[in-house]
Amino acid sequence: MSEQVIGGKSFTAVAINCAAKAGEWIKTKLGNHTSLSLKYSAQDLVTEVDKGAEAMIRNLVMTHFPHHSFLGEEGVQPGPEASDRALQSVRDAEYLWIVDPLDGTTNFVHSFPFFSVSIALAHRGEVIVGVVYDPIRDELFVAEKGKGAYVRGRRMNVSQEEALRDSLIATGFPADQTFALPLNMKGLQALVPQVRNVRSGGSAALHLAYVAAGRLSGFWEIGLNAWDIAAGSLLIEESGGRVTDVKGSPYDLGVRHVAASNGRIHDEFLNALQQAESNS
């Protein structure tokens, strides 16, 4: 891994500071956001709080690291093609911050207390810092490449389940109703009878953090973006788990159809998705 501190400022400390500040501010806005608009579809929401949180994070990052690149959800046009283009234009940057300022906007809008701030730093395409913050529970999940992953200061480990039948799996219901949602529903239909149960809390980043913490055995979703997955992917890898696309290719920043698990169930998990033809 390359040097983590420049001029005394630790990348991880800045990531944590950004996530904590944005998360605390988001919490003060719960139940009193003032603007709600639609983006890519009727299910794809954005508020002034998403935009304000991203501006706050971007300003902080740029103050500390003015030469770094920044990819934030709210700075990108809605929809999968625009997201792909935005990623391609920066993915090989020396240092790239990848930010979802509010993952779980639908929950935030409905005061359903399950959402997060997700911040990753990639060095030449490889995630080296990942932070996911849940402001409601005041839980900060943090990982540094090669140094492990922690929540509330305790080292995280993925869960022990060896088989799908003993597993608690999570997924999401993608806002893209033409491509991603139908595929995801095929996977859901196939997996429910094969696993202990399925959860869908509405924040992909937080679900990934829960896989890292051993609270979920696995998570998959079709049609996510780099900012939903990047931080969580490092949390899981540093907790002993496995992250691939739904066909089994290793994780990289371009993965949109993600399967993440404790590693032990991974092959069976991928097989089940493949059998259901839900891996596109």
Which chain residues interact with ligand IPD by CB under 6 A? Answer: 100, 103-105, 172-175, 202-204, 221, 224, 228
Q: Would you count residue 103 as binding Ca ion (CB under 5 A)?
A: yes
The contact mask relative to Ca ion for 17-56 (x = CB under 5 A, - = no) is ----------------------------------------
Q: Would you count residue 161 as binding Ca ion (CB under 5 A)?
A: no
Q: 236: helix, coil or strand?
A: helix
Q: Would you count residue 134 as binding Ca ion (CB under 5 A)?
A: no
Contact, 119 vs 17, CB < 8 A? Answer: no
> Could you give the CA distance from residue 29 to residue 22 in angstroms, rounded to a whole number?
11
- Determine if residue 228 is labeled as part of a ligand binding site: yes
Based on CB atoms, which residue is closest to ligand IPD, 21 or 39?
39
Based on CB atoms, which residue is closest to Ca ion, 109 or 142?
109
b/e 222-246 (16+ beta carbons within 10 angstroms → b): bbbbbbbbbbbbbbbbbbbbbbbbb
Task: Indicate which of ligand IPD, Ca ion, none lies near residue 203 (CB less than 5 to 8 Å, by partner kind).
Answer: ligand IPD
Task: Indicate which of Ca ion, ligand IPD, none lies near residue 268 (CB less than 5 to 8 Å, by partner kind).
Answer: none
Task: Indicate which of Ca ion, ligand IPD, none lies near residue 237 (CB less than 5 to 8 Å, by partner kind).
Answer: none
- DSSP annotation of 249 reads P
Task: Indicate which of ligand IPD, Ca ion, none lies near residue 202 (CB less than 5 to 8 Å, by partner kind).
Answer: ligand IPD
Radius of gyration of the chain (CA): 17
Task: Indicate which of ligand IPD, Ca ion, none lies near residue 232 (CB less than 5 to 8 Å, by partner kind).
Answer: none
- Determine if residue 73 is labeled as part of a ligand binding site: yes
Based on CB atoms, which residue is closest to Ca ion, 24 or 94?
24
| Count helices and strands in the chain by DSSP H and E runs | 8, 16
**How many other CB atoms are found less than 10 A from the CB of residue 117?**
34
Q: What is the nearest approach in angstroms of ligand IPD to the Cβ of residue 173?
A: 6
Q: Would you count residue 245 as binding Ca ion (CB under 5 A)?
A: no
Place of tokens 């002034």: 48
Contact, 70 vs 97, CB < 8 A? Answer: yes
Q: What is the nearest approach in angstroms of Ca ion to the Cβ of residue 50?
A: 6
- DSSP annotation of 139 reads E
Task: Indicate which of ligand IPD, Ca ion, none lies near residue 224 (CB less than 5 to 8 Å, by partner kind).
Answer: ligand IPD
Contact, 173 vs 186, CB < 8 A? Answer: no
Q: What is the nearest approach in angstroms of ligand IPD to the Cβ of residue 157?
A: 24
Report H helices in the chain: 11-28, 48-64, 80-90, 105-109, 180-191, 204-212, 226-237, 266-275
Residues at the interface with Ca ion (CB under 5 A): 73, 100, 102-103, 228
Residue positions forming the annotated binding site for Mg(2+): 73, 100, 102-103, 228
